[in-house]
Amino acid sequence: MTTMNDAAKLSEYVTFTTAGQLFGLPIEGVQDVFKPSRITRVPLAGAEIAGVLNLRGRIVTAVELRCRLGLGRRDDGSVPMAIGIEAKGESFSLLVDAVGEVLKLPDAEREPNPINLDRNLGRVSAGVFRLDGQLLVVLDIDRVLDLSAEAMAA
C-alpha cells in the first residue's frame, strides 16, 4: 500500500466538525462552503434529508450529516454550516456543525478504519488520520450520499 510515490503525495482536505468529531472531505469534491438559509423541508423524505434550498438559482439538497451518521437530529437550536458538493451532476450540501481549515495531509498517513469503528461511521469513512490531539475521519462522499435501502432502513 505504501509505495515511494504515495509517501510523497499530499492531499488537501476540508475539515469540519459534527457532534464533536473532526471530519475531512477531499477538497476536489467540495464546491463551496456557505451558511444555509431558508431550507425548505421535504415531507415524507428520510430523516437525513434536511430539505432543499436555493443557492444562486440552483436547487440544492441538504443532507444532515448528524442524521446520516446516526447521531440524532439537530435539536439544540445550533445553526449549521453547509458544505456544497457536486455529485453525479446534482448539487448537494452537507449540513455540519462548524467548518475548520483546509489541511494538507500525506496519503501515506491515512490509516484504514479501526475495526471497532461505529457501524454508521464505518459505512461512510474512507480512513482515519492521526492528527495532533485528535483524529480526523475522512468521509467518502459517494457513500455519504448513498441513501439507498441499507441506509434508509437504519
Query: How far is Cα 123 from Cα 63, in angstroms, rounded to an integer?
Result: 16
Q: State which residue, 54 or 134, has the beta carbon closest to other proteins.
A: 54
Mask for 74-113, x = binds other proteins (CB under 8 A): --------------x-x-x---------------------
Q: Residue from 59, 79, 102, 135 that binds other proteins (CB under 8 A)? A: 59
Number of residues that bind other proteins (CB under 8 A): 21
Grid coordinates of 154: 437504519
User: Where are the strands (E) in 4-121, listed by range?
Assistant: 10-18, 21-26, 30-34, 49-55, 58-64, 81-87, 90-96, 98-106
Closest CA to 24 of 71, 70, 88, 83: 83
Q: Residue from 9, 32, 47, 54 that binds other proteins (CB under 8 A)? A: 54
Q: Residue from 14, 25, 30, 49 that binds other proteins (CB under 8 A)? A: 49
Q: Residue from 45, 102, 135, 154 that binds other proteins (CB under 8 A)? A: 45
Q: Which stretch binds other proteins (CB under 8 A): 15-23, 36-44, 93-101, 125-133?
A: 36-44
- Please list, in sequence order, all residues whose beta carbon lies within 8 angstroms of the beta carbon of residue 65, skipping any fewer than 6 positions away: 18, 23, 94, 95, 96, 144
* In the block, residue with C-alpha cell 430539505: 51
DSSP-derived 3-state class of residue 120:
helix
57 near other proteins (CB under 8 A): yes
Q: Residues in the site for other proteins, rule: CB under 8 A? A: 38, 40-46, 49, 52-54, 57, 59, 61, 63, 88, 90, 92, 145, 147
